[in-house]
Structure 1
Amino acid sequence: MTADTDWNAFVPGEVFSIQEQADGPLAGLTMSVKDLFDIAGHATGAGNPDWRASHAVPLQHAELFQSLLNAGARFVGKTITEELAYSLVGENVHYGTPVNPHNPDCIPGGSSSGAAAAAAAGLCDFSIGTDTAGSVRLPASFCGLWGFRPTHGVLSTQGVVPLAPSFDTPGWMSKSWDHFLRVGSVLLPPDQQGREFGHLKLALPEDIWGLVHPGFGKALKPFTDRIARLFNGEVKDPLSQGRLIDWQDPFRLVQGHEAWSMHGPWIRSQKPQLGPGIKERFEWASTINDEQAQVARADMLKNVAVVNAYLEGAVICLPTVSYLAPQKGHASSAEDRTNALTLLSLASMAGLPQITMPLAVLDGKALGLSLMSRRFSDRQLLSLPQQFPGLQYQP
């Protein structure tokens, strides 16, 4: 393993070891966890020194973390997160930006930036992060990792700092397919959806694929063609009637309203130092009133119903993110950010499981391909890549 000084993945002073079981299904594997998870005897920082200083040191482990220890995994450190997990870039003004091991000159993506860097650099076998609006999926895609966002609610958030509880879920990343699968086998409950995917269509909705950068379709077509052989045909019917780009607006409002409900009182009382982007995002969130949030939630649920109906007959295949990782210091365009959130918010608002797969490289950068399926089909979705004919997984 290389030293963390090469990658800036871990919170300063938070590289230490815990192992409670010598055997179990995860025995021999090392893990890191995002600095939103409580670890007994260690302050939870949530990416912000003022948060760390103003909250009591937890007396017990977060429930999910404890379950991984019980399965035999060995913990090796807490990873940097963007402040209160409210960004997708991966930068942290207090602790610095974790290095993207796949493309060191590019951002790692966030908010689980340190988790992605640690897994991609080989500092651990798998990383636990959280995903509210793409914070596992986007950094996994940018750093060339397997990443999984489970059905909302199937994994415990007890002992995890929230952002927007309607969408928050733990998730995990790994460079190794085998390690990735082993973690899911431990964490995921039995599926509640019994129908086999082979009876469904593989959907590549034209309105989704129309939002991604040129070149993605050609780079990913060899993989989508092979994946399609496992399904009962392929469809490209759009999800929306020409307004998919608008779907992220009500999601953002609901997310922002919940984020301010969670952290507004602390921000007002403590007046913490928040970094650029995070500060302005919370300021905007503070302006969303209850009536606006209620209307936005109603609009969002209408879109959720459309997605759920679409998934009755299909599994959706899409690029994980609409653009490639930008270079450090070169912010992505507003159009790219909007398109990316449109793609990422689909699983978030509907509470769906989504797997991102490190199958392709374009212009030297990692390009993740995702599959998204109905709620409570997590294990089925996780095992699907085992069946792909002839796919070569990128290291």
Structure 2
Amino acid sequence: MPDVDATAPVRADADPPAGLLDAFWRYERALMADDVPGLDALFADGPWTLRGDAGGLLVGHDAISAFRRGRGGAPQRRIAAVHVRVLGQDDAVVVAELVPRTGGRGQQTQVWRRGERGWQVLVAHVSAPAPAVDGRVWREVGTPLVAGSDEGPLSGARVAVKDLFALAGHRIGAGVPAWLASARPEPATASAVQVLLDAGADVTGLARTDELAYSIAGANPHHGTPPNARVPGALPGGSSSGPASAVALGQADIGLATDTGGSIRVPASYQGLWGLRTTHGRVTRDGLVPLAPSFDTIGWLTRDRTTLAVASRVSGAGAPAEPAPERFVVAPALLGDLDPAVQEAFGAWTAAHASAEEVDLGDVAAAQEAFRVVQAHEAWGVHGGWLTAHPDAVRGAVAERFRVAAGITDGEAARARAAVERHRQRFADALDGAILVLPSAASPAPQATADPTAVDAVRARTLRLTCVAGILGAPALSMPLLEVDGAPLGVCLVGPRHGDDALVHRAAAFER
């Protein structure tokens, strides 16, 4: 145990009950030592124990313990003063004034109760000094970083730009420190950014992305995982993790993002946001670091449908437009691998709101595999040379995906590409112009501490859902309409190509 200075003055409205302060200092020593079993013993067992901070509220002893195991220890600090308010012989509130080593002031409030196991914490809340910039969410920020036009339909809106887009005078980081280190300032701003600036929006900053955008989890081993604003301790969803978290946290109003295999729809689902993947090619992709050009699209994340509708309208001005059909369909082949709770919630929603008939999309597993092979082959074609020259630049699951991608032959890719075309035609024939309704993800957001094998299994099941829009090149809208065990889950509408704006308008009927 570290040598915690327990000499802070105690200010109490009555004599503290016997053993309370001893328990408080045991807690502080365990916290500074990252002694998770010791901390668990000092928190009341059961489903009603609470722990909150700026990241959200954890409910239940098990959730709190899981959070502690995954965070890698608490920031070091000293206690400046301890305030005690005695509520009864066996109940008290303790408020500690905190002085972090990194500077600033914070406080920790705890409700303690004495029971059969001695003094334990029932409720705790920690207020840390607010960082000027959360480096897990943002790579570069300003006030604003780039100002938009003086007026326009997006006047006053703040944009978080995924760190794949060019901003004139700024470098692109692509979620990889080695990439950023070798990057030069961009000579021009990407069209997808400029159109928002011209509409009056300001760019707040460049927000984090998963390494080279080759993930839908949202974790980044270099910069830390952006927080999930709706589910404390959970993955934020990627690869548009930074823009999604910035919008969900209220630090931006629009997240300018990309979606290849679900990178807008998944973070939207995990954090309770609106998210639109646009028709392939609808929004110009100049000034964008690609992943798999056959599937890469641009879109937006917002907290409300109206802002999303404006961003889509101004960004797609001049593009072909199609009306949204009135007919909805569901595909049972997409739903069989979902968690039972997701199946139940989605089934209840469609029965109540969508009046959807069933369609047969054929062998969706084979379609997913063909999509995976083409995506991987293109990703290695885009980045393989650079990764070969920088062999340790990416890590973990992303590194493994690129390793597999490197082994795909041109012949295998050609056969997979032909299969994608067959599945595209099959999907289009089955949908016959209708709107496909499906969950945006296979489950709510997994915890950041979840076993990597389990996270990868969720990824595979989610990609079976998300690959359909990618194969079709169609717009897909994630709507924050469901909850499963208190966590958000999106309902996704996949519409006909070039029906982007009409799809967002059609979704107005489902808003709460």
Query: What TM-score do the two structures reach when normalised by structure 2?
Result: 0.71
Residue 364 of structure 1: aligned partner = 486
Say if 2:237 is the partner of 1:109: yes
Does 2:384 match 1:264? yes
| Structure 2 counterpart of 1:130 | 258
CA drift at 1:274: 1.0
CA contact (8 A) 1:41 1:57 kept: yes
> Which deviates more from structure 2 when the two are superposed, residues 329-338 or residues 134-143?
329-338
Q: 1:93 aligns with which of 221, 224, 229?
A: 221
1:320 aligned partner: 440
Aligned-residue offset at 1:281: 1.2
SS in 2 for 1:97: coil
Deviations for 1:281-325, whole angstroms, at most 9, x for unmatched residues?
A: 111111111111000100111111111112224210000111121
Corresponding letter in the other structure for 1:94 = H
8 Å contact 1:203–1:236 — kept in the other structure? yes
CA distance in 1, matches of 2:183, 2:194: 21
Deviation string for 1:331-368 (max 9, x for gaps)? 33554322211111111122110000001111011110
Report the 3-state secondary structure (helix = DSSP H, G, I; strand = E; otherwise coil) of the residue aligned with 1:215. Answer: helix
Contact 1:92–1:275 (CA under 8 A) maintained in structure 2: no
The alignment status of 1:154 with 2:282, answered yes or no, reads yes
The 3 A distance-change label for structure 1 pair 60 and 190 is closer
Aligned match of 2:63: none
- In the alignment, which residue of structure 2 is the partner of 1:206? 332
Q: In the alignment, residue 211 of structure 1 is paired with which amino acid?
A: D
Higher strand share: 2
**2:349 aligned with 1:223:** yes
Q: Given the superposition, is the C-alpha separation of residues 226 and 27 from structure 1 closer, same or farther in structure 2, using an over 3 Å criterion?
A: farther
Give the secondary-structure state (helix, strand or coil) at the position aligned to 2:340.
Answer: coil
In structure 2, what is the Cα distance between the partners aligned to 1:163 and 1:206?
30
Answer yes or no: is 1:75 the counterpart of 2:197.
no
Q: Is the 8 A contact 2:305 2:504 kept in 1?
A: no
2:366 equivalent among 243, 246, 250: 246
**How far 1:4 sits from its partner (Å)?**
6.5
Aligned 8 A contact 2:165 2:288 in 1: yes
Residues 273 and 177 (structure 1), Cα distance of their counterparts in 2 relative to 1, 3 Å cut? same
Gaps of 5+ in 1: none
Match of 1:9 among 125, 137, 140: 137
**In 1, are the aligned partners of 2:322 and 2:498 still within 8 Å (CA)?**
no
**Matched residue SS, 1:292:** helix
Aligned to 1:387: 509
- The whole-number CA distance in structure 2 between the counterparts of 1:369 and 1:3 is 34
Equivalent position of 2:71 in the other structure = none
Q: Distance in 2 between matches of 1:176 and 1:334?
A: 30
Report the counterpart of residue 42 of structure 2 in structure 1. Answer: none
Alignment of structure 1 residues 165-314 onto 2, 5 Å: 165-189=293-317, 192=320, 194=322, 196-198=324-326, 201-228=327-354, 234-240=356-362, 243-314=363-434
**Cα separation, partners in 2 of 1:248 and 1:4, compared to 1, 3 Å:** farther
In 2, Cα distance between equivalents of 1:333 and 1:266: 27
Task: Work out whether residues 323 and 502 of structure 2, in 8 Å CA contact, stay in contact via their aligned partners in 1.
Answer: no
8 A contact 1:7–1:117 mirrored in 2: no
TM-score by length of 1: 0.92
Greater mean deviation of Cα atoms: 207-216 or 248-257:
207-216
Distance 2:272 2:322 in 1: 31
Match for 2:460 among 338, 345, 364?
338
Structure 1 residues 196 and 42, CA, compared in 2 at 3 Å: closer, same or farther? closer
Work out the CA distance in 2 between the residues paired with 1:175 and 1:7.
22
Residue range with higher mean Cα deviation, 90-99 or 15-24: 15-24
Q: Deviations 1:144-190 (Å, cap 9, x if unpaired)?
A: 10000000000011001000100111110011222222211211246
Q: Distance in 2 between matches of 1:5 and 1:196?
A: 41
Query: Among the aligned pairs, what percent are the same residue?
Result: 36
Tell me, what secondary structure is at the counterpart of 1:317?
strand
The alpha-carbon distance between structure 1 residues 218 and 14, as it changes in their structure 2 partners (threshold 3 A), is: same
- Indicate yes or no: 2:508 matched with 1:378: no
Question: Which secondary structure state, in structure 1, belongs to the residue aligned with residue 167 of structure 2?
Answer: coil
Residues 147 and 357 in structure 1, CA contact (< 8 A), matched pair in contact too: yes
Structure 1 range deviating more: 300-309 or 213-222: 213-222
Deviation for aligned residue 1:3: 5.9
1:226 positional shift: 4.6
Report if aligned partners of 2:292, 2:376 keep a CA contact under 8 Å in 1: yes
Q: Distance in 2 between matches of 1:346 and 1:41?
A: 37
- Matches of 1:189 and 1:312, distance apart in 2: 26
Q: Deviations over 1:219-276 (max 9, x none)?
A: 2345323542xxxx63112211xx3222211111101110111111111223342121
What is the CA deviation profile of residues 81-119 of structure 1, one whole-angstrom value per residue up to 9, with x for unaligned ones?
A: 011101111111111100000002100011011111000
- Point out where structure 2 has 5 or more consecutive residues left out of the alignment: 1-53, 55-129
Task: Say if 2:387 and 2:393, in contact at 8 Å, map to a contact too.
Answer: no
Residues 210 and 219 in structure 2, CA contact (< 8 A), matched pair in contact too: yes
CA contact (8 A) 2:174 2:213 kept: yes
Distance 1:193 1:136 in 2: 21
Instruction: Find the residue that maps to 2:138 and give its secondary structure.
Output: coil
- The answer to whether the 8 A contact 1:7-1:99 is kept is no
